[in-house]
Structure 1
Amino acid sequence: MPSLTEPKLIAGNANLPLARSIARRMSLYRGVDQGLVDARVERFNDGEIFVEVFENVRGEDMFIIQPTSNPANDNLMELLIIADALRRSSASRITAVIPYFGYARQDRRTKARTPISAKLVANMLTGAGIERILTMDLHAAQIQGFFDIPVDNLYASPIFALDVQTQFKQQMSDLMVVSPDVGGVARARELAKRINAPLSIVDKRREKPGEVAEMTVIGDVTDKICLIVDDICDTAGTLCKAAQVLLDNGAREVHSYISHGVMSGPAVERVSNSVMKSLVITDSIQPTPEILAAPNIRVVPTAPIFTQAILNIWNGTSVSSLFEDKTLRPIYESLYHMD
């Protein structure tokens, strides 16, 4: 049964193009003008964040669109302060739409006297009055258990599967999906199942964070078109080295599908100069001009799936239906014209 409240979108500064794209699609789907709630999110001279909402949100179903990407702390604080402003303005329900969930890599204690920052962030979000989380490709699935509120975790693999079926239509039998480490096998297997391709693994031995000492390919990649699948590309060092190792082991060419293009430091330059034919990322994090200008980096939109997920949450219908190809394909049909 549809809700009697209206869905309203508000955005921080982390990824305004994505927020506006979601608003445009909601206007199209609902047949009514669905702009972003008029608000200002700005800084005082000392860096403090100030939020003022100019529209009445009393009793409304609010969706805050804000990835907690770089600068992670500023964007996280914006999200918390927007939520507090909405809660004090008597919003009916507050859902945080976090396309990229920052601090997700700190999901467990790897050494003595270290924090579990992902749990701390979960506590902060709940304490700010957020009643539901909508995100994509959490780094670790167990983070959902850090929350005592509903968490809907969307997956990029169905979108990537549509892209692969379009880009490699005549070469599907030559594809090999590759996980860049043992920990990412489940994610890679999910895409492999969707496109009916075999799976290989690059086993890496890391001496310290940010450096990879040795890589070994598990599986025969000879004359295969390899698709590396992962959730995060940060400095791209591991990714570029994995691509080279695959070619050294006989792969015909290497492409990568990464959910979140963090792309820190020298990442864009490394990818541009690497042996990878293409790197496909989503716009869960706002792409920089350097990313958009890179010849072998392509960005696929997440607005269609997030828009439909927001509408499903508002209507009280299934979000998990978006994991199915028959449900997802129609909302991406304008991008992927498939027979």
Structure 2
Amino acid sequence: MKLIAGNSNETLAKAIAEHLDTPLAQAEVRRFKDNEIFVEIQENVRGEDVFFIQSTSFPANDHLMELLIGIDALRRASARRITAVIPYYGYGRQDRKVGGRTPISAKLVANLIVTAGANRVLTLELHAGQIQGFFDIPTDNLFSTPVLERDIREHCADVNKLMIISPDVGGVVRARALANRLGADLAIVDKRRPKAGVSEVMHIIGDVSGRDCILVDDIVDSGGTLCNAAEALLKEGAASVSAYCTHGVLSNGAIKRVEDSKLKELVVTNSIDPNARKSASGRVRTVSVAPLMGDAIWRIAHEESVSSLFE
């Protein structure tokens, strides 16, 4: 088994390698003067089971091209099997046509990865589960629920006061899974989105009075949805509001928005490199998914069940 890291999230890649007690293989990703990307694998990978670790986070296009060119380099180097390990799948929110003459970019990116030569994909918390069907190769979609559950139990004074909140109707399945593991109740924020990147809270479905509420989502981008939901929950009598999100995109002044909001804390995973953020915040905390992804990689390499990680 060989582990290779792209430039998008070397921190996570090193943590996965440490968890597996397997050093990262030597590879170089560099750019020519015209900014063309060049990937050179500096170890023999012929006949090897290779895992290329690369989130397609900001800058998404550069990191996507690194992934595609790296896969192509491994295929031409006669790797036996190439697994694209994508902790954060960029373009995942473009999973359907939202209007006339619009693309389904999540499918296009899947086609590119398959065409480049990947034999299978390992990813984390896809924005929509059906994206797995966009790939014509085996795809394992991990869930961050065990990681979030463990952190909540470690930092929550009274689990009996907890209420898990889905910030929209589309995230109910995700929120219910976490609520069931914690033995907590579930509430839903009924919101509408008049345009992309803008959300308005309409109603709170459920009684949140006196409860410690935890908003659960897959992606936090601008942070507007979570901040608006926190304010609405507190108006309905919630004792406190925190948020747990798998992918901390945190663009467009999101960290300052969280700082100025009623949120007690925002917890994200390191699926996107936290060192890439332009500013830090005492209210934004990171938990690691390296053990989860490392265990999944080990199981794939040894032909064992991945789904049993969540049983």
| Matched residues, number | 311
Q: Which position in structure 2 is the counterpart of 1:102?
A: 90
Q: Which position in structure 2 is the counterpart of 1:288?
A: 275
Aligned residues of 1:178 and 1:199 also touching (Cα < 8 A): yes
Q: Which position in structure 1 is the counterpart of 2:35?
A: 47
Aligned residue runs from structure 1 range 203-222, under 5 A: 203-222=190-209
Q: Is 1:155 aligned with 2:136?
A: no
Q: Offset of 1:274 from its aligned partner?
A: 1.2
Return 5+ residue gaps in structure 2 as ranges.
none
Aligned residues of 2:201 and 2:232 also touching (Cα < 8 A): no
Percent sequence identity is: 57
1:315 alignment partner AA:
H
Q: Is 1:193 aligned with 2:193?
A: no
Q: Secondary structure at the match of 1:193?
A: helix
Q: Secondary structure at the match of 2:171?
A: helix
Q: Is 1:137 aligned with 2:125?
A: yes
Aligned residue runs from structure 1 range 235-254, under 5 A: 235-254=222-241
Q: Secondary structure at the match of 2:198?
A: coil
CA displacement 1:123-142 (0-9 Å, x = unmatched): 10000110110001000000
1:204 alignment partner AA:
K
Return 5+ residue gaps in structure 1 as ranges.
1-6, 28-33, 325-339
Q: 1:241 to 1:285 in 2, by over 3 A?
A: same
CA displacement 1:155-210 (0-9 Å, x = unmatched): 01111111111111x41111000000011111100100000111101111111111
Match of 1:38 among 26, 31, 34: 26
Q: Which position in structure 2 is the counterpart of 1:70?
A: 58
CA displacement 1:97-125 (0-9 Å, x = unmatched): 00000111011111111111111111100
**1: CA distance, partners of 2:279 / 2:9:** 15
1:206 alignment partner AA:
R
Q: 1:164 to 1:214 in 2, by over 3 A?
A: closer
TM-score norm. by structure 1 comes to 0.90
CA displacement 1:232-291 (0-9 Å, x = unmatched): 000101111111110011000001010000000110111112111111100000013658
Q: Secondary structure at the match of 1:112?
A: coil
RMSD: 1.1
Q: Which position in structure 2 is the counterpart of 1:268?
A: 255
Q: Offset of 1:293 from its aligned partner?
A: 3.2
Q: Secondary structure at the match of 1:212?
A: strand
**1: CA distance, partners of 2:8 / 2:107:** 22
Q: Secondary structure at the match of 2:219?
A: strand
**2: CA distance, partners of 1:130 / 1:52:** 17
Q: 1:148 to 1:289 in 2, by over 3 A?
A: closer
Q: Which position in structure 2 is the counterpart of 1:3?
A: none
Aligned residues of 2:6 and 2:52 also touching (Cα < 8 A): yes
Q: Which position in structure 2 is the counterpart of 1:331?
A: none
Aligned residues of 2:3 and 2:25 also touching (Cα < 8 A): yes
